[in-house]
Amino acid sequence: MKKLFIAASALSALFAASCSKQQDVELKKELIPGTASTPDTLVGDITVNTTVTKTTYLKGIVYVKPGATLTVNPGVTIIGSAGAATPDLLNLANNKGVLVVEKGGKLVANGTPSSPIVWTSSKAAGQRNFGDWGGIVIFGQAPIITRTGAATNIYEAFDAINDPKNYYGGTNPSDNSGSMTYNRIEFAGGTVLAANKEVNGLTLCGVGSGTVINHVQVAHSGDDAFEFFGGTVNASHLLAFGSKDDDFDFDEAYSGRLQFIIAYRTDLADNSGSEMIELDNNATTTVFNNTRTNPLIVNATLIGPASTTVRSGVTGSFDGGVYVRKQGRIALANSLIIAQALPVALGTTATTNASFVNPSDPVPSFVRNNIFQTSSANPVVIDSDESNPIIGTADNALIAVLANSTNQNGALPNFAAFKLDGGLKPTAGSPALSGGLNVSSFGFVGTTVRGAVLPTDPWTTTGSWISIAAN
């Protein structure tokens, strides 16, 4: 495995502050099973404004109710409970720790580069693994479009509890669910209440553009790192590292803007089939009526595994870099899709392809000024308007596909040829230093650098907020 950026800081240096309460909120003291620690504990419903200022235990599924704000101070650690072996639908406190922000509630968790907010496992360092606890789920009131045409939906991982608190979606695209800056979510994800209905590291359901999401890492998630179910929230400086399933997953007509995002795969991990970007819409047009999942993504760096070695404990199936399905759309520019051993750099399904490649489509896809690489002998890269592998087409002159016996680009034969430093910042001579579109007119930071790390913004090596600790 190629070593990525920052050495992990000792956890003990991060957790210093105290936890207080406002009004009449009760923060209990509870023993973390398997440890000698008895920290303050969040359990049940948060019904009034509450501020957490020291290491705190998240016991079971905790809801931030409408009208309430949970504030987490810089430097605080939240430890998610491991939960019982069997899901408990009657007493939610007996399950894996999950923070759920209901529609109308808010999470304000703003750390700093050197004093991040860390959401982590209850196990000791060296014994942690993906799926040790649940994750963070935010329900907003921004528009979504479901497969049935309904304007609201129940969160799929919690549909065993058909309760209004588990619904999301609405009519307010600028809805505000709070803010998260400089957060690390690690060893979360996976099954909580039902098999094959997993919680992700960070799940954003119908979240509106009034919500602030930037500088968030999800490491070693037991399912997806980041999943967007509809909504309009914009985000930047996101890092998915070592995910078990997808790194970025989009569905239900999500239409926000993402800039400076990284997916870094160390191996093949999931049993089902995964991508660094997975995008779904609907296989028919009758419901969506040209309102589609259509994220605008610029300055991404997506790095696949260097080999097809499978992670211990799973059978391993990984489809590739960017996979657009069910008539979804994507706008992708100024990005580095470095698939390495994976053959698929950019792919579409049969139900998607005919519309995906049609520039006169009411919601066209836009794929420009990226660099695609794969060391596979059978590369798959679909062009956005020729329906061909991206090899030698004039409008994609800046896009390279490798390992093709006829059209191999010897200048970029492997990961090292991109000339990225340990923080994935391009160094002298890197093809990423130029060639991008200036996307400032789309509301992004204007730059012609390609990839997620600008020489002027080395965010992956700033402070101690990022960790790549394996366990």
Task: Specify the 3-state DSSP secondary structure of 415.
Answer: helix
Query: What percent of the chain stands above pLDDT 70?
Result: 84
Cα–Cα dist 92/90, whole Å:
6
The position carrying tokens 């520039």 is 359
The per-residue pLDDT for range 3-27, each reduced to its tens digit, is: 344 333 332 332 233 344 333 345 7
Could you tell me the pLDDT band of residue 373, with boundaries at 50, 70 and 90? confident
pLDDT of residue 23: 35
pLDDT of residue 436: 87
Q: Which of 9-23, 82-96, 342-356, 380-394 has the lowest mean pLDDT?
A: 9-23
| Average pLDDT of the chain, as a whole number | 84
Task: Tell me the Cα Rg of the chain.
Answer: 21
Cα–Cα dist 58/55, whole Å:
10
The position carrying tokens 């993402």 is 258
Span between the terminal Cα atoms of the chain, in Å: 15
pLDDT of residue 192: 95
Residue 131's nearest CA partner among 92, 96, 159 is 96
Main-chain phi, psi angles of 94, to 5 degrees: -90, 5
Chain Cα centroid distance, residue 194: 22
Cα–Cα dist 143/204, whole Å:
12
Cα–Cα dist 437/283, whole Å:
31
Instruction: Count CB atoms within 10 A of the CB of residue 422.
Output: 13
The pLDDT of residue 382 is above 70:
no
pLDDT of residue 24: 33
**Helix, strand, coil abundance in the chain, percent, nearest 5:** 5, 30, 60
pLDDT of residue 364: 72
pLDDT of residue 181: 98
Cα–Cα dist 432/207, whole Å:
32
The per-residue pLDDT for range 403-442, each reduced to its tens digit, is: 444 444 445 678 888 999 999 999 999 989 998 888 888 8
Contact between 393 and 364 under an 8 Å Cβ cutoff? The reply is no
pLDDT of residue 226: 98
The per-residue pLDDT for range 41-97, each reduced to its tens digit, is: 999 999 999 999 999 999 999 999 999 999 999 999 999 999 998 999 999 999 999
pLDDT of residue 407: 41
Burial label for 24, CB within 10 Å (0-12, 13-18, 19+), is: exposed
The per-residue pLDDT for range 282-322, each reduced to its tens digit, is: 777 677 777 889 999 999 999 998 887 787 777 777 778 89
**Residue 156 CB contacts under 8 Å (≥ 6 apart), including other chains:** 197
Contact between 166 and 231 under an 8 Å Cβ cutoff? The reply is no
Alpha helix (H) residue ranges in 297-390: 350-356
Cα–Cα dist 303/243, whole Å:
12
Q: What's the average model confidence in pLDDT over 206-228? A: 97
Cα–Cα dist 334/436, whole Å:
5
Go through 107-137 and write b for each residue having 16 or more CB atoms within 10 A of its CB, e for each that does not. Answer: bbbbbebebbbbbbbbbeeeebebbbbbbbb
The per-residue pLDDT for range 232-276, each reduced to its tens digit, is: 999 999 999 999 999 999 999 999 999 999 999 988 877 677 899
* CA angle (287 as vertex; 281, 289 as ends), nearest 5: 85
Predicted model pTM: 0.90
The pLDDT of residue 396 is above 80:
no
**Neighbouring-strand partners of residue 99:** 62, 136
pLDDT of residue 381: 67
Six-digit token pair at 418? 């991109």
Could you tell me the pLDDT band of residue 357, with boundaries at 50, 70 and 90? low
Chain Cα centroid distance, residue 234: 12
Contact between 258 and 238 under an 8 Å Cβ cutoff? The reply is yes
Q: Look up residue 327 and give its DSSP letter.
A: T
The position carrying tokens 């100024």 is 334
